[in-house]
Amino acid sequence: MKQSGVSEYISAVKEESIDCRDYIERLIVQLRKENSKLELFSKLHEKPVCNPEGALASLPFTVKDNICVEKFPTRAGSKILIGYQPPFNATVVERMNTAGAAFIGTTNMDEFGFGTFCTNSAFGTPKNPFDNSRSCGGSSGGAAGSTAILKHHVALAESTGGSISCPASFCGVVGITPTYGRVSRYGLIDYANSLDKIGLMGRSIEDIAIALPTISGPDPRDFTSMIQPPLTLRDEKIESIAVPRELISEGTDEKILKMFWNAMEKLKSEGVVVDEVNMPVLKYSIPAYYILACAEASTNLAKFCGIRYGKEGSQLENMYNTFFTEVRTDAFGVEAKRRIMLGTFARMAGYRDQYYMKSLRVRRKIIEEFGRLYESYDLIASPTMPLLPPKFEEIADMSPASVYALDFLTVPPNLAGLPHLSMPMGYVGDLPAGVHFIANHWKEEKLISVGRIWERGMEYRFPLNLEGRS
Amino acid sequence: MMRIGLEIHVQLPTKSKLFCYCPNAPSDEPNMNVCPICLGMPGSKPIVNERALALAAIAAKTLNCRLLDRTWFSRKTYFYPDLSKNFQITQFEAPIGIEGFLDISERRVNIWRIHLEEDPARAVHELVPEQESALLDYNRSGVPLVEIVTAPDMDDPTQAREFLRVMLSELRYVGVVLEEEELKIRADANISVTDGERVEIKNITGLKNLEKALDFEYGRQNKVSKVGIEVKRETRGFDEERGVTTALREKEEEQDYGYIFEPDLPIYDLKGLSLEITFPKTVTEKSQEIEKKFGLDSQNVKALLLDSKPLGDLLEDMAERVNPKRVIRWLNTVVKAEHYRHPERKLNEIANKLERVIAADASEKISDVVAKQAIRKIFETGESGKLTELKSDEGELESVIIDILKEKPELLEEIRKQPKAINHLIGSVIKKTEGRFDSKKVGEAVRKEIEKRKLQ
């Protein structure tokens, strides 16, 4: 089993060979310096609390900017939440605190999670630590970037349609998106409630395996978390993997494809059967996903109207409609406005049946098809992203539709609520690429098991190894 | 011809709100019963109060609706300052119940659907009257409501009011609404007059205002069409102070609320859930039961039960031991009136005393006059006092009448001119005999005496 930076750190804190207060203070100083250049953090904590007790004794953790931290600016990457400090902690934050972990700051993201490159944040654009002219990926770009530079740390991230896997792949870190409902969403600022999942990023599968039990489990404040079977992270034998042809046929960088087939060969040599299969229904996943996600998002964003929190409207003498229109026009970014319009359209009378309702049926169909595959296979695999982290000037030339299309590998498991894992697969030049594993509902242990197999003999590279020690 | 349909909002008496743990209770201070959920703070999620679900199912059954097998919540999106999330969690495709009805005196009113939803916050305009602004009180935000939608089956405003009154009584009997709801109940009314377009009057509060608003609107639509102007399809508001409806907005087409499923909440197996709910007997069921058991007229029993459940319970209990016909006669008249006059007097604390009086009357031990006085005294003081026993010595009664007529011979003259004046004489006799004789017997004796004298 590979060494885990996290477990090393926790033992050192418990043995008092690391003074956690000193460690974290030094760490924050270094991060402040790096962040002025990388813009990975929305806000660093001034005075992190360290607690040498508990399962995650003083482990530094970051929180994506859309997960509420009590009395700490939580803005979901949006100008409309400037000034907002939630009056309560998200359940996941509460659970990390209880386990003794030390919150060190919030990480930058695409506004409300709307984006693939983290270029839609109102608070700067995170730069990929491997190459500062390139994207971290999105929407949890800051979470992935901070994981790539911090030696002992886990990141609380969130995925709606691929927002954990994509940046994990671009930043060369491990990212797990648990089954929908595994981790309580209470305190997560909603993008699309039926798709949103809180997950983790770390530098090794063991980092993930240590922290995942802490944030998982039922929470009466989020009904959708109440029906889960217990999380077990036993080592499971992985016998077979299916590779849907629809996920490897077109649109993927050839170097990435080649690396992916090498990876499959490596798994075969470990005794795993790898079969190519057909799953034609997958071609509907992108439209179904964007319709459902935008339909829900357009209702979720309605609450931001400049009255009770965040950015306040100034023209108090205006009528309500004019008042909130001014606030929203000014404070929402272009992509947020686009998704509000798309989503509103998809649920209007006359269109609702052919878009919204139909997408719900497509989602059900995709879930069924996945279910059929899991009758014969332990896992499904593909590359995580069809491209290497692009340069910012390349991104500027992409149309919204072509960006949406890049999510075709990460959207299917997200749409189906299936747990999935992105692992660093290798490097093209200096840039990382990811391999994607998808398990059946509630089978996170299979992801952890395949991750352990994959990491045998695999050397990860990290651009920086910041730690609070001299 | 007139057609009226109603959409009625009734608050459910749960301990906490519909989607959070805040108390569902009035508060003198604004914004006291609030939390991140009912304030719609980012990141908060609703959780369903299952008691509200049960109460809504009871309401649906009481109004003879068919319960759906599965039910769920939806988001109804519209921007309004009192709506904390700018969407309301309500029910769209799968309400709690459909296809019900309620019989009122002259007709059957069909009920299309009944569903659960959250109440918005309250916009307070009174505190800043000089400004074009309002304050928001979120105490009400998230309070559970059932919305009841009727077919346009009512023919006039009086019927609409009667429907609302009977419906509230039925729901009160099964514990779904509280006593004071009659004053607070909010309804939207659709009204159309002889082939005219449908006009909706929004947000009418209370029974009296409903009738007033409809009366006014009926008159307005008649006047408009008499001068040859077509009645427009529109939404109007009701100005309570001036008693008039005023135009709010023209309604060219239905507003589009862009409903989606509420993704944070589950689909409920209402069929399974309803097996666990104890459905109380409705007024109709209970009065049929009482009719069968005690041989009473079911309309009489129903009237009593609709008025007050505690009096209904008292009837059922007392009729086991005392002549049921006597019991219901007293409960429907004097006891009911005194019960309303003295709401502070708990029925269960005086039930024994009431029973002693009514039993004494039923077994002809006291006169009705004494009984009536005793019942009043029980409600006023908690005690009946001494019960003067009934006498049957008719000779004494006759001599009292003769004495009075001797003292006041002018009474005879009055009665000749105005036969109703006989009541004066009867009253005087009752007073003089201190209720020792039954009022009916006194009447008979007086009439006999007068007849005798007419013949002379």
> Mind listing the pLDDT tens digit for each residue in A131-150?
999 999 999 999 999 999 99
Q: Choose the catalytic residue: A42, A140, A146, A163.
A: A163
Give me the helix-helix angle, B157-173 and B207-226, nearest 10°: 160
Report pLDDT for B139: 95
Q: Find all residues with CB under 8 Å of B405, minimum gap 6, and list them.
A: B411, B412, B425, B449, B453
pLDDT at B416 over 80: no
Q: What is the mean pLDDT of residues B40-69?
A: 96
Active site residue A37: no
Contact B86 A90 (CB under 8 A): no
pTM here? 0.90
pLDDT tier, A320 (very low <50, low <70, confident <90, very high otherwise):
confident
Single out the residue of A74, A85, A83, A150 nearest to residue A109, CA to CA: A74
Q: Quick check: B132 contacting A, CB < 8 Å?
A: yes
Neighbours of B328 (CB within 10 A): 23
Of A192, A223, A317, the CB nearest to B265: A223
**Whole-angstrom distance between the N-terminal and C-terminal Cα of chain A?**
28
Question: Is pLDDT larger for residue B306 or for residue A193?
Answer: A193
Closest chain B residue to A70 measured between Cα atoms?
B43
Q: Which residues of chain A from 75 to 94 reach within 8 Å of chain B, CB to CB?
A: 76, 81, 84, 86-88, 90
Among A106-115, A459-468, B370-379, which stretch is predicted with the lowest mean pLDDT? B370-379
Which residue, among B16, B45, B141, would best test binding to A if mutated, counting the most A CBs under 10 Å from its CB?
Answer: B45
Residue with tokens 């805040």: B22
Single out the residue of A104, A229, A172, A233 nearest to residue A388, CA to CA: A172
Asked if ipTM goes beyond 0.90, one says yes
Neighbours of B13 (CB within 10 A): 18
Residues of A in contact with B43 (CB under 8 A): 67-68, 74, 86, 88, 90, 186-190
Q: What is the mean pLDDT of residues A431-450?
A: 97
Query: How far B259 CA lies from chain A's nearest CA (Å)?
Result: 7
**How many H helices and E strands in chain B?**
16, 16
pLDDT tier, B355 (very low <50, low <70, confident <90, very high otherwise):
confident
Residues of B in contact with A74 (CB under 8 A): 42-43
**Distance between CA B284 and CA A282 in Å, rounded?**
57
Q: What is the mean pLDDT of residues A257-265?
A: 96
In Å, how far are B221, B359, B390, B426 from B365, measured between CA atoms?
61, 9, 5, 21
Q: Quick check: A348 contacting B, CB < 8 Å?
A: yes
Contact B77 A88 (CB under 8 A): no
pLDDT per residue as tens digits for the range B238-274: 888 888 888 887 655 567 899 999 999 999 999 999 9
Provide, rounded to the nearest whole percent, the portion of chain B with pLDDT above 70: 96
Q: What is the mean pLDDT of residues B3-30?
A: 94
Among A191-200, A264-273, B373-382, which stretch is predicted with the lowest mean pLDDT? B373-382
Query: How far B238 CA lies from chain A's nearest CA (Å)?
Result: 21
pLDDT at A1 over 60: no
Of B36, B86, B133, the CB nearest to A305: B86
Report the amino acid identity of residue B158: T
**Distance between CA A150 and CA B31 in Å, rounded?**
44
Q: What is the mean pLDDT of residues B141-162?
A: 94
Q: What is the mean pLDDT of residues A251-261?
A: 94
Q: Find all residues with CB under 8 Å of B160, minimum gap 6, and list them.
A: B4, B6, B154, B189, B210, B211, B214
Residues of B in contact with A360 (CB under 8 A): 261
Helix (H, G, I), strand (E, B) or coil at A9: helix
Report yes or no: A273 and A240 within 8 Å, Cβ to Cβ: yes
Give me the helix-helix angle, B283-294 and B157-173, nearest 10°: 70
In Å, how far are A128, A141, A175, A229, A361 from B353, measured between CA atoms?
87, 79, 77, 61, 67
Q: Choose the catalytic residue: A4, A58, A139, A146.
A: A139
Contact B260 A222 (CB under 8 A): no
Q: What is the mean pLDDT of residues A396-420?
A: 94
**Distance between CA B391 and CA B387 in Å, rounded?**
12
Quote the DSSP letter at residue A203: S
Q: What is the mean pLDDT of residues B447-456?
A: 70
H/E segment holding residue A424: strand A420-428
Report pLDDT for B393: 67
Instruction: Tokens for A328, please give them.
Output: 């929203």
Quote the DSSP letter at residue B15: S
Active site residue A64: yes
Q: Quick check: A415 contacting B, CB < 8 Å?
A: no
Average pLDDT, chain A: 95
pLDDT at A394 over 80: yes
Contact A349 B87 (CB under 8 A): no
Single out the residue of B10, B7, B379, B6 nearest to residue B180, CA to CA: B10
Question: Is pLDDT larger for residue B80 or for residue A67?
Answer: A67
pLDDT per residue as tens digits for the range A71-105: 999 999 999 999 999 999 999 999 999 999 999 99
**Distance between CA A270 and CA A71 in Å, rounded?**
49
Q: CB-based burial of residue A353 (10 Å sphere; 0-12 exposed, 13-18 middle, 19+ buried)?
A: exposed
Q: Quick check: A192 contacting B, CB < 8 Å?
A: yes
Report yes or no: A4 and A455 within 8 Å, Cβ to Cβ: no
Report pLDDT for A24: 94
Helix (H, G, I), strand (E, B) or coil at B343: coil
Which residue, among B31, B86, B93, B265, would best test binding to A if mutated, counting the most A CBs under 10 Å from its CB?
Answer: B86
pLDDT at A315 over 60: yes
Residues of A in contact with B120 (CB under 8 A): none
